[in-house]
């Protein structure tokens, strides 16, 4: 009787299951986990970060979860997506600026506390910092080694280790599995730095501070480039534009380019006191529009907006003519000649590939 009941159930549900499997299409989903640019905090925006997830339509693109940069509050934004740090498969860091990495320590502490096991962290190998002064090193390895130091010194790590001896007394550093990308890299796309199944992540060196990397994810559902804070390798004008030639190569025919953006309103001489060095080492919205058009990109997704939307100032630097709106960034990108889709970043803005226009 029971057997008969089960057989009847299977007859009823099996066609439905097969139907679901047959229509599971690969998908790639890109979510901005933080869109704040630089050290200031404005309107509750989280620090820079992009979650790229790959899977298929039957599992909401959730076979692989890749986090690119992890600024302030990343763990909070992930929680709004229902994602815990234990679920991440790898973290990729563009560069050693606090607005891109200060949320990583929290992610790793969480993983350590709840026995998450090693997490791949991909970033550049040690490189001498710009001069002057000499003798400094930009070191992702040192950051990972020391990110739990305050909690070790405070006694917390030892105390929690005693509570549960499965926790490594070395603290969160013990769950970081460093994958250091040696520099220099070839100035052409194709250097694969991480791969899992059909998903391949490649990197290219780009200019901002020493050790800056930009990444590209290729998958059966599409491709996305994470430019980070890349700028032109010529530090200031005269130069053809403010964008990165290597990122342009990496972005060739990409479906999506996610990139930090600087609005021309902060250009030297335009009425703000924004530091020229900080302005020139980012890419402007207009030049990114032009670059995305040349590269054949379908979707240009701005993140790390400087200034933030609606902000009266960026840190101590006041906007000369009041807060900016989305349309100000969009029209700047259009002025550069971009004819594809423009997505102006706000926290948790999401784009799914294959793209379906509404």
Residue 95 CB, shortest distance to Zn ion, in Å, is 8
What are the phi and psi torsion angles at 216 (to 5°)?
-135, 130
Residue 166 CB, shortest distance to Zn ion, in Å, is 36
Asked whether position 218 contacts Zn ion by CB under 5 A, the answer is: no
Smaller CB distance to Zn ion: residue 167 or 208?
208
3-state class percentages of the chain: helix first, strand second, coil last, to nearest 5: 30, 25, 45
Residue 36 CB, shortest distance to Zn ion, in Å, is 9
Smaller CB distance to Zn ion: residue 99 or 248?
99
**Count of residues in contact with Zn ion, rule CB under 5 A:** 2
What is d(CA 290, CA 26) in angstroms, rounded to the nearest whole number?
30
Are 88 and 119 in contact by the 8 Å Cβ rule? The answer is yes
Residue 306 CB, shortest distance to Zn ion, in Å, is 8
Tell me which stretch binds Zn ion (CB under 5 A): 9-17, 27-35, 97-105, 135-143. 97-105
Smaller CB distance to Zn ion: residue 95 or 167?
95
Helix (H, G, I), strand (E, B) or coil at 40: coil
Q: Which of 29, 164, 46 is nearest to 104 (CA)?
A: 46
Tell me which stretch binds Zn ion (CB under 5 A): 1-9, 92-100, 138-146, 336-344. 92-100
Within 10 Å of residue 31's Cβ, how many Cβ atoms?
22
Among 45, 70, 74, 99, binds Zn ion (CB under 5 A): 99
Smaller CB distance to Zn ion: residue 35 or 246?
35
Tell me which stretch binds Zn ion (CB under 5 A): 76-84, 99-107, 274-282, 341-349. 99-107
**Distances in whole angstroms, Cα of residue 330 to Cα of each of 43, 109, 293:** 21, 38, 14
**Distances in whole angstroms, Cα of residue 347 to Cα of each of 30, 32, 234:** 12, 6, 31
Residue 289 CB, shortest distance to Zn ion, in Å, is 20
Smaller CB distance to Zn ion: residue 229 or 248?
229
Residue 100 CB, shortest distance to Zn ion, in Å, is 6
Q: Angle 326-335/285-295 helices, nearest 10 degrees?
A: 50
First-to-final CA distance of the chain: 50
What is d(CA 226, CA 258) in angstroms, rounded to the nearest whole number?
5
Binding mask 187-206 for Zn ion (x = CB under 5 A): --------------------
Q: Which of residues 219-278 bind Zn ion (CB under 5 A)?
A: 229
Tell me which stretch binds Zn ion (CB under 5 A): 94-102, 145-153, 189-197, 348-356. 94-102
Are 176 and 108 in contact by the 8 Å Cβ rule? The answer is yes
Residue 260 CB, shortest distance to Zn ion, in Å, is 6
Smaller CB distance to Zn ion: residue 167 or 281?
281
Residue 228 CB, shortest distance to Zn ion, in Å, is 8
Q: Which of 221, 227, 336, 234 is nearest to 284 (CA)?
A: 336
Write out the residues near Zn ion by the rule CB under 5 A.
99, 229
């Amino acid at each position: 009787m029971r057997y008969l009941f089960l057989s009847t159930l299977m007859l009823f549900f099996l066609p439905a299951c097969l139907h679901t499997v047959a229509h599971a299409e690969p998908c790639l989903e890109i979510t901005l986990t933080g869109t704040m640019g630089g050290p200031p905090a404005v309107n509750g925006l989280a620090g820079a970060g992009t979650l790229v997830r790959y899977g298929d339509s039957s599992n909401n693109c959730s076979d692989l979860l890749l986090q690119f940069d992890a600024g302030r509050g990343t763990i909070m934004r992930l929680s709004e997506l229902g994602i815990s740090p234990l679920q991440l498969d790898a973290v990729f860091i563009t560069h050693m600026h606090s607005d891109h990495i200060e949320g990583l320590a929290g992610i790793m502490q969480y993983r350590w506390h709840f026995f998450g096991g090693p997490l791949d962290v991909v970033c550049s190998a040690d490189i001498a910092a710009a001069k002057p002064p000499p003798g400094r090193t930009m070191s992702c390895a040192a950051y990972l080694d020391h990110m739990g130091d305050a909690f070790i010194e405070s006694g917390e790590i030892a105390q929690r280790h005693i509570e549960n001896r499965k926790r490594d007394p070395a603290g969160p550093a013990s769950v970081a599995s460093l994958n250091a990308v040696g520099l220099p890299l070839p100035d052409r796309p194709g250097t694969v730095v991480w791969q899992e199944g059909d998903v391949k992540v490649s990197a290219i060196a780009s200019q901002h501070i020493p050790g800056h990397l930009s990444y590209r994810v290729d998958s059966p559902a599409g491709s996305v480039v994470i430019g980070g804070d890349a700028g032109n390798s010529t530090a200031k004008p005269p130069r053809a534009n403010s964008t990165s030639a290597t990122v342009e190569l990496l972005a060739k025919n990409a479906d999506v380019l996610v990139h930090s953006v600087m609005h021309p309103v902060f250009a030297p001489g335009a009425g703000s006191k924004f530091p020229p060095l900080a302005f020139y080492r980012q890419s402007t919205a207009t030049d990114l529009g032009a670059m995305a058009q040349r590269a054949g990109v379908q979707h240009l997704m701005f993140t790390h907006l400087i200034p933030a939307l609606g902000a009266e100032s960026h840190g101590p630097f006041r906007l000369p003519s009041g807060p900016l709106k989305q349309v100000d960034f969009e029209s700047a990108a259009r002025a550069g000649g971009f004819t594809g889709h423009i997505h102006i970043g706000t926290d948790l803005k999401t784009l799914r590939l294959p793209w379906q226009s509404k």
